[in-house]
Structure 1
Amino acid sequence: MIEVTQEDYKTFVGERSSVVIDGLEIKLGRSWTIKSYGPQNGYALERTTVWNFPDVGRWATHRGNYRGSWSPYIPRNLILKYTEKGEWILDQMMGSGTTLVEAKLLERNAIGLDINQNAVMVARDRLNFYYSPLFPDYVEPTIRTFCGDARNLDKITDESIDLIATHPPYAKLISYTRSGNVEDDISQLPFEQFITAMYEVAQESFRVLKPGKVCAILVSDARKHKHYVPVSTRVLQVFLDVGFILKEDIVKIQRNLKWTSEKWRGEGYDFYVIGHEHIFIFEKPKDKNEAKKYKFSAKWW
């Protein structure tokens, strides 16, 4: 883990005005015009295990122009349900920094990590806005960003994190690194190697999370040769294997499917378009007795 500070970001944008990630050019260093710092009035936090958000979420610096489907509604719901102000949040595959922006807005400290330096700079760019609500007890949170591998959180001490909220890259379906040439990018691994890598991610997640706290992972399934590939089930198994227990399995409805911009005619194919993802919420048991109590939500094999 190599820390990337605000000064590092300023130096970077002084030399480059944009980065390219997955073929998409993202501008950096511009002043943000922020119209709101939260969802539209009337939005209530989710209460069921099916999440279907009203829009992509464009408050603060969220723009929705980054590949993947980590809507800001997801970390907002998780942060408000599972943490208190001043606690520490980790997103070890942070992409454009959505989780960190929400942590900043909601007065939580946060650590963000990504294997791609360009992504880290995008995250720092999204965090580069002034926010000082008129609350007498407001305390500006600490937000730290790193370039590094989610399988090796060497700068994070044991049992120091209150919430993990992250979105792993899809197994060789979407790469979040430029031209697929970033060393240790697990999104470029063949499927079985991807699952092995996710086992290591799960181990590190278990190590840094405090007992009794939760780790939330958004995972999408895939299709190969017109048949379903249960990526989420395999990821579920590796997290249970390292000692987590399953607290919730939330189905997230995908709103902006890739195929909606194409001439898609479902009746011409002998399979269904995958329209959902899973948000697994894993809990780290406080002790062996608690783990035994929840044995039906734990590793069964």
Structure 2
Amino acid sequence: MNLTQMERMKSGKGFIAALDQSGGSTPKALETYGIKKDAYSNDEEMFQLVHQMRSRIMESSVFNKDRILGAILFEKTMDSRVDGLHSADYLWDKKGIVTFLKVDKGLADQEQGVQVMKPITHLDDLLKRANERHVFGTKMRSVIREANTTGIKALVDQQFEIGQIISKAGLVPIIEPEVDIHAPDKEKAEMVLKNELIKHLKSLDSNTLVMLKLTIPDEDNFYEELTSFPNVLRVVALSGGYSREVANQKLARNHNVIASFSRALSEGLNVDQSPQEFSKILDGSIQNIYQASIT
């Protein structure tokens, strides 16, 4: 583990940029960016286009360590290059930004009110490659659709079980049990989730560090207790479908929680924008998210 990166993630000011759209979410991300589905004919061409979009964001002068602590990368982004360097090396060596790798393979079908992660095939090999690419941590997402105690317990159990494997490989796992913002009993689901998270955090040994990526709660500062656990390096928030403006307003009311936004970060960017216009819009997005993250 890179101790300089760990200290930056622990105490630095800023937020985490999520640049990890995968196969399922990439077409929508490209369409929002102004690239329609008829612009590519297969997955390889699609991923080339999304890497160009991500590279444009990463290479922008406004995308730097002054306001951005970390970036979450998709596997193909980790293996690709930016300005001649592998993405993680470019972000750390040139920008001072810590990197994380999305390791999950998507969601299983809904059962007991939740969607756990599909089996993560070849995880050991993926973690080995992440270390070789100088990545600091990982991220894995599952989703809670309703306040089903049995389902939420199973979901959190899975997250921490895989998190222990990741930690033993020398990486810091971001555990992401997203609560659907449209869940009919969202507040109750958040209560069940917090209780399960606390149980698992209390069972960790002192050498195991994790990060938590959580939906912005209905009750302000609801997760404040989690931010003070010695095993929790950082608590970050996902935008979860809220607009950037709404997500920022909600996040600003939750102290010691920083953003890890994807769609909200790239909102308003378009492939046809001039370099000046692109940087201006990106700079505004970064500043608004940064301000919400330092409350």
TM-score (norm 2): 0.37
TM-score (norm 1): 0.36
Name the larger-Rg structure. 1
